[in-house]
């Protein structure tokens, strides 16, 4: 569901210059390829010019440079960063379906729980004893909030999420459905050939402005805390092990696995399905390509890739044989170089 807004109402809130009818009305949003005459979209990629020229949207957000390439009579909002501006339009047009301050009669709220002003708690959700829920927090149906949990103001907990005992979540965060925050880390010690569980007594601390995707799991620390710093964005189905520390403004794509005690710096980008072995340190401003295995420290900023290229299976098997013998091949080449050098001297 979306609010109905005119071009002027949009620019009054977000800025930008209107070219065309300021009273052009939109009732929804759409992609450049599929938007209809009642919707707003954006155009920033020159490779999509054919779609832009044929676009039927009532309003197109674009740059001054690209605006002249669009059909005449179309209402345009001129900005420097169309995609970012479009994301802000989505924010102001979206209708919040959760009623502020509504606490379901089926919610179970424990003893000495502090609820801030305007909290919303969905059907059959549970909040255990001693938890503190900040102003404007929204907790979806069937969610579980454990004992002594702290959730900062205006944070949203999706339906069916689990925030377990002692966890702390900052302000303006989003925890999507099915996420589990604060389960036991994978800690065992072997004794007499058997694995014995090591109690996990740390917590999970999530900073302000973070987002945690659906079915992502963040384990609590074994002794010290697992820390997700401010404004970190984590996609769906990510595993973050105990005692990890993720630096500010890092973004992690889906299906990444991070073993315990890994430290990842600020402003890093981790591609989907990348894997980190335990007890690593990754410095600030590092990009890890999708599918890569990080098995040692990264101490210099830059982009790192550890993905063997996809190939036809028969060719892959032949190449894999060569890779297994690279060390031997290097030695033989070195011997040939020495032999050739000796012949040239004679």
Instruction: Kindly state whether residue 103 falls inside one of the protein's structural domains.
Output: no
Quick: pLDDT tens for 78-130: 999 999 999 999 999 988 766 677 999 999 999 999 999 999 999 999 999 99
The two structure tokens encoding residue 267: 């402003």
Residue among 123, 242, 313, 325 flagged as catalytic? 242
Instruction: Judge contact between 260 and 279, C-beta under 8 A.
Output: yes
Q: Which spans in 182-223 are helix H?
A: none
Q: Domain holding 49: CATH number?
A: 3.40.1390.10
Q: Is residue 98 part of a domain?
A: no
**Is residue 300 located within the same domain as residue 338?**
no
User: How many structural domains comprise the chain?
Assistant: 3
* Residues 173 and 274 occupy one common structural domain: yes
Is 336 in the same domain as 235?
Answer: no
Is 281 inside a domain boundary? Answer: yes
Q: Is 242 a catalytic residue?
A: yes
Which stretches within the chain are classed as H helix?
7-14, 49-54, 64-67, 82-93, 313-324, 326-345
**Residue 322: per-residue pLDDT:** 86
| Residue 335 is assigned to a structural domain of this protein | yes
141 domain-assigned: yes
Q: Are residues 202 and 239 in the same domain?
A: yes
Sheet containing strand 126-127, edge to edge, reads 108-109, 126-127, 144-145, 162-163, 180-183, 217-219, 239-240, 257-258, 275-276, 293-294
- C-alpha span between 337 and 333 (Å, rounded): 6
CB 28: neighbour CB atoms within 10 A? 16
Does 141 share its domain with 54? no
10 Å CB burial of residue 327 (0-12, 13-18, 19+) is: exposed
- Residue 304 CB burial class (10 angstroms; 0-12, 13-18, ≥19): middle
Pairing of strands 138-139, 156-157: parallel
179-to-13, 30, 143, 183, 200 alpha-carbon distances in Å: 33, 29, 10, 10, 19
Residues 150 and 28 in one domain: no
Please answer whether residues 131 and 112 qualify as being in contact, where contact means their C-beta atoms are separated by less than 8 angstroms: no
Domain residue limits at 23:
5-93
Instruction: State the Cα torsion 150-155-157-158 to the nearest 10°.
Output: -170
Report the Cα–Cα distance between both ends of the chain, in Å, rounded.
Answer: 85
Question: Quick one: CA dihedral 12, 14, 16, 19, positive or negative?
Answer: negative
By DSSP bridging, strand 25-26 and strand 5-6 are antiparallel
Same domain, 218 and 339: no
Tens digit of pLDDT for each residue in 247-280?
Answer: 999 999 999 999 999 999 999 999 999 999 999 9
Buried b (16+ CB within 10 A) or exposed e, 247-268: bbbbbbbbbbebbbbbbbbbeb
Q: What is the CATH number of the domain that holds 262?
A: 2.160.10.10
| Domain presence at residue 155 | yes
Q: What is the pLDDT of residue 78?
A: 97
Sites in the chain below the pLDDT cut of 70: 97-99, 346
326 in the same domain as 190:
no
Q: Looking at residue 98, what is its pLDDT?
A: 66
């Amino acid at each position: 569901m979306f609010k109905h807004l005119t071009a002027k109402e949009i620019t009054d809130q977000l800025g930008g210059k209107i070219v065309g009818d300021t009273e052009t009305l939109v009732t929804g949003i759409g992609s450049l390829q599929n938007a209809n005459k009642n919707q707003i979209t954006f155009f920033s990629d020159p490779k999509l010019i054919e779609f832009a020229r044929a676009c039927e949207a009532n309003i197109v957000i674009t740059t001054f440079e690209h605006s002249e390439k669009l059909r005449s009579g179309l209402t345009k909002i001129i900005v420097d960063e169309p995609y970012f501006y479009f994301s802000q339009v989505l924010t102001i047009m979206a209708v919040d379906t959760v009623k502020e301050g509504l606490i379901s009669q089926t919610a179970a709220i424990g003893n000495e729980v502090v609820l801030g002003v305007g909290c919303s708690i969905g059907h059959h959700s549970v909040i255990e004893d001693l938890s503190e829920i900040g102003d404007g927090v929204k907790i979806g149906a069937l969610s579980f909030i454990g004992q002594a949990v702290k959730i900062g103001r205006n944070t949203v907990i999706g339906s069916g999420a689990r925030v377990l005992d002692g966890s702390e979540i900052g302000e303006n965060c989003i925890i999507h459905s099915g996420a589990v925050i604060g389960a036991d880390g994978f800690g065992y010690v072997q004794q007499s050939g058997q694995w014995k569980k090591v109690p996990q007594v740390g917590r999970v601390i999530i900073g302000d402005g973070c987002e945690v995707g659906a079915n992502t799991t963040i384990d609590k620390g074994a002794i010290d805390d697992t820390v997700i710093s401010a404004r970190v964005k984590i996609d769906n189905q990510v595993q973050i092990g105990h005692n990890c520390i993720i630096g500010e403004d890092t973004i992690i794509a889906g299906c990444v696995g991070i073993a315990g005690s890994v430290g990842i710096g600020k402003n890093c980008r981790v591609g989907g399905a990348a894997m980190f072995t335990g007890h690593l340190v990754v410095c600030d401003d590092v990009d890890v390509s999708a599918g890569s295995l990080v098995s040692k420290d990264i101490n210099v900023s830059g982009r790192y890739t550890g993905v063997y290229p996809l190939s036809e299976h028969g060719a892959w098997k032949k190449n894999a044989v060569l890779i297994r013998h690279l060390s031997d091949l290097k030695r033989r080449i070195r011997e040939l170089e020495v032999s050739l050098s000796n012949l040239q001297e004679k």
